[in-house]
Amino acid sequence: MEHACFELAPTVFTGTRVRTGFHCHTVNSDGGLSPADTVRTYRERGFRALCITDHRHVTHTEDLSDAEFICLPSTENGGMPDILAVGVESSVDTTLPFAERARLLAAQGGFIVAAHPTYCAALPQDYLDCEYLQALEIYNAYCDNAYVNGYATELWDMLLGQGKRVLGLAGDDAHLNPEKGYYSHAGLGWIEVWAREFSEPALVAAMKQGAFFSTQGPVFETIEVERTAIRVTCSPVKQVRWRTFGHAGFVDHAPEGGSLTQSELPDWLKTRVFVRIELLDHRGRRAWSNPFFLREAE
């Protein structure tokens, strides 16, 4: 496969990022704060965009956005498995099958995400044949802290290994409700979006293109893709983990007592069907890139 290359090559993800809260609730469903107070909470934590994903309801957000902050109209469409849809105008019937709900929300221009898959007890076959599914919520802080089922990275790898092109993102699932305790807080898991401009259409387009990474704190400063080479620079971390399907993978360790701020895909992983990157910092927090897919050159 010496003439193969990664599909996005050449590209560099770098520059200004938009810190975006992806999954939260207000008093319009089971959250504890009004939409305005929810936005204020996220702004105080350094966020510049927010997807309010109330259950079976789209919170219209025109009066919550300004030149410095964008609130994206979104919803959580329950139905087991649940769907998060960003950039939509209305909810759809939650009793419909998953694929039909995804189709109807995608028809509104939405970015379609499988919400907290492990919490939903989802299996690969629940998602494999859904052509409108664009991403999985690979980390959900509320489910992690309340139910110990907030991660879905193994399911993600199973889908990727079977050829399903699906992105991954992290969400708070913040309810900001004192009755729900610590795990309802904002800023426990989010996405950092490389958008071409600071606007709602540009943010949604960047999400659909995978121009973002997910994080609990660590940061990818740059991700550079050139044919079969991938290089990253990052905030100081303990490990950079290169992940693919099956037994293959590589962990780049920081020296004893030190940190890593850069890493490169090793040669022996350059023929894998896909590769994605995880960061692990000294506090145990993680960040995840989106997957990069290898293809034969024409």
- Which tens digits make up the pLDDT trace of 25-64? 999 999 999 999 999 999 999 999 999 999 999 988 789 9
Average pLDDT taken over every residue of the chain: 94
Q: Quick one: which of 220, 225, 192, 175 has its CA closest to 31?
A: 175
DSSP 8-state secondary structure symbol assigned to residue 88: -
The CB-side HSE value for 166 (13 A sphere, CA atoms) comes to: 29
Residues 6+ apart with CB under 8 A from 276: 160, 168, 242, 243, 244, 288, 289, 290, 291, 292
Q: Model confidence at 239, in pLDDT bands (50, 70, 90)? A: very high
pLDDT in tens, 275-287: 999 999 999 999 9
Beta bridge partners of 70: 49
pLDDT in tens, 101-111: 999 999 999 99
Structural contact between residues 166 and 173, judged by C-beta atoms closer than 8 angstroms: no
According to CATH, where is 2.60.40 located in the chain? 4-10+219-296
According to CATH, where is 3.20.20.140 located in the chain? 17-212
Dist. CA 234–CA 216, nearest whole Å: 14
pLDDT at 296 over 80: no
Dist. CA 98–CA 123, nearest whole Å: 13
pLDDT at 297 over 60: no
Beta bridge partners of 286: 280
pLDDT in tens, 121-138: 999 999 999 999 999 999
The DSSP code sequence of 183-236 is GG-SSSSEEEE--SSSSHHHHHHHHHHT-EEEESS--EEEEEEETTEEEEEEEE
- The whole-number average pLDDT for the span 253-277 is 95
Predicted TM-score (pTM) of this structure: 0.95
Beta bridge partners of 168: 136
CATH class of 17-212: alpha beta
pLDDT in tens, 58-75: 988 789 999 999 999 999
Task: For domain 4-10+219-296, give its CATH number from 3.30.160, 3.40.50, 1.10.3470, 2.60.40.
Answer: 2.60.40
pLDDT in tens, 153-173: 999 999 999 999 999 999 999
Q: Model confidence at 21, in pLDDT bands (50, 70, 90)? A: very high
Dist. CA 266–CA 285, nearest whole Å: 24
Q: What percent of the chain has pLDDT over 90?
A: 85
